[in-house]
Structure 1
Amino acid sequence: MTICNQIKEIIINNLPEIISLRKEKMLKEDGSYVSKGDFLCEKLVKDFIASEMSDYFLVSEESPEINNANSKKDKVIILDPIDGTENFVSGLKEWGVAICIYENGVHKESMLALPELNCYLKTGDIFEKFESRICGISSSLTKEDILKLEPGFEYRIIGCAVYNMYNVVTGSFFSFENPKGAKVWDIIPGLNLALENGLSVTVNNTQYHGELLDPNQKYIFKVQNR
């Protein structure tokens, strides 16, 4: 069983407890929420790594103190324990878990999980592809940014990169972009799944080829069906 499949089973088996913690939230320094559900998801993956994958090192949104050193290791698991925490703590089902595995700087597998919607997309999956004219955009855009969007498209703002990436890879969105920038754990699983499935991917206005990204930076990106 692949690492992503094992983590998928862990998420499914613990989903009721994760959901039960959605109201237990606190503000971070940047004004965004983190919940006890985020911390439980991270702990479940940390415990799995410690017991089953001890030669791997974790890079996670909720563990900034270890990310810089761990990202330089040979075997890395990148995790966003709950992407779309604002949605999660508000009772919305559009939140996700993002997993990406690298070995010696080379991408091995990724997963986009939308547990409350029972939607999972992993490396190697075969799925029905849609054709859409909907463009997903980041919730970080201001009102002024939105008014400058290119006319002629349908736009959606969901506030969850995993949800948006899932939909652009499966063709339910024509494109998804963030012109303001996002961290590696938000985007790198989706970027790699997009590449695997033949989509056009740019990071910082340059063609992306699957390279491991520095966790200390934000990256603007666009993923688009051809």
Structure 2
Amino acid sequence: MTDIRSGTRSVLEGASDLITELLPKLDSLRSDVTLKNDGTPVTQADLLLQQALQRYLSSHMEDLTFVGEEGQWDPDAEPQGWTAVVDPIDGTENFASNLPEWGVAVSIFRGPRHAGSMIVLPDLGKRLITGDTVTYASSRITAFSSAISDELVEQLARTPQARVMGAAVYNLYGVCTGRLATFINPVGAYSWDLLAGVQLALEHNCEVYIDDEPYRGGYLYPGRKYRLEIHHRHDRHPR
């Protein structure tokens, strides 16, 4: 498994370099927005980056099953061989509005086992890849998802230091690195929004709950929404 993770990390680093290389082209496509059937936005940058990542990952992983937000996938397929779950641009509304709080998420499995994950925040010059060493910040802030529900409004009203950022991967990066104390999504998000972040959260000793149950690192199936709560746990870090 160590060799698999080492090889996967190398692939993820290459994917991060690809994102950086494409950033000027992505930037030029921010305003090319259409609405999907569910009313959420998609830009030509989403499509360009997903296609580029699919080509890149498929060229490095034999018989890869690619699960991307903007593609087609079997919602019930068990992960076999190599599987990559990719959100090319999470926080598309922010991206299209020229805000920096957006990112890219990639999670790779070998069969049912996690092999490596990555979050990249290109406009902020930040990334987190499986195996990274982190100097943790210390925060009291709780971030919430931007999908509003009555439960979320009630929790916001009870939380002294609350933020709504509009991008799951931005929040996940924050809670993994201690820049956020907690991230809560009571409405639910899809696997491509969450999978890389929850894997990294476990690696960085966070307390993770999905659908109110402790999360142990399993695969999340596409097309389903998962409620999420993550707490950064400084007490779990080595002294």
Give the TM-score, by structure 1 length: 0.94
Equivalent residue number for residue 196 of structure 1: 203
Q: Distance in 2 between matches of 1:69 and 1:179?
A: 23
Q: Which of 66, 86, 95 is the matching residue for 2:102?
A: 95
1: CA distance, partners of 2:162 / 2:136: 19
Are 1:74 and 2:100 counterparts?
no
Question: What residue is the counterpart of 2:6 in the other structure?
Answer: none
Say if 2:177 is the partner of 1:149. Answer: no
Map 1:1-226 onto structure 2 (within 5 A): 2-63=10-71, 65-68=72-75, 72-142=79-149, 145-149=152-156, 151-226=158-233
Mean Cα displacement is larger for which, 52-61 or 17-26?
52-61
SS of 1:210's equivalent in the other structure is coil
C-alpha distance in 1 between matches for 2:196 and 2:57: 18
Letter in 2 for 1:4: L
Secondary structure of the residue that 1:68 maps to in structure 2? coil
Identity over aligned pairs, percent: 37
Q: Distance in 2 between matches of 1:143 and 1:62?
A: 29
Q: What 5-or-longer segments of structure 1 have no aligned partner?
A: none
Cα distance in 1 between the residues matched to 2:55 and 2:76: 19
Range 51-60 or range 153-162, more displaced: 51-60
Pick closer, same or farther for the CA change 1:224–1:42 going to 2, 3 Å: same
Describe the shift of the 1:71–1:35 C-alpha distance in structure 2 as closer, same or farther (beyond 3 A).
farther
Q: Is the 8 A contact 1:127 1:170 kept in 2?
A: yes
CA distance in 2, matches of 1:206, 1:147: 21
In 1, the alpha carbon distance for the partners of 2:198 and 2:126 equals 18
- In structure 2, stretches of 5+ residues that fail to align are 1-8, 234-239
Paired residues of 2:76 and 2:221 also in contact (CA < 8 A) = no
CA distance in 2, matches of 1:168, 1:27: 30
In structure 2, the residue corresponding to 1:76 is in which secondary structure? strand
Q: Separation in 1 of the partners of 2:139 and 2:133?
A: 19
**What is the CA RMSD across the aligned residues, in angstroms?**
1.6
Superposed CA offset, 1:19-47 (max 9, x none): 11111010001111000000011011111
Which stretch of the first structure deviates more once superposed, 111-120 or 43-52? 43-52
Distance 1:170 1:53, change over 3 A: same
Does the CA-based 8 Å contact 2:139-2:179 persist in structure 1? yes
- Tell whether the 8 Å contact from 2:82 to 2:110 is kept in structure 1 after alignment: yes
Deviation at 1:67, TM superposition (A): 4.1
Q: Distance in 2 between matches of 1:204 and 1:144?
A: 14
- Deviation of the 1:50 alpha carbon: 3.4
Provide, for residues 94-130 of structure 1, a one-character-per-residue CA deviation record: whole Å limited to 9, x for no partner: 1100000001111111111101111001111112101
Partner of 1:149, secondary structure, is helix
Whole-Å separation in 2 of the counterparts to 1:127 and 1:11: 22
Taking structure 2 as the reference length, what is the TM-score of the superposition?
0.89
Distance 1:82 1:150 in 2: 30
State the shift of 1:214 in Å. Answer: 1.3
| 2:15 counterpart letter in structure 1 | I
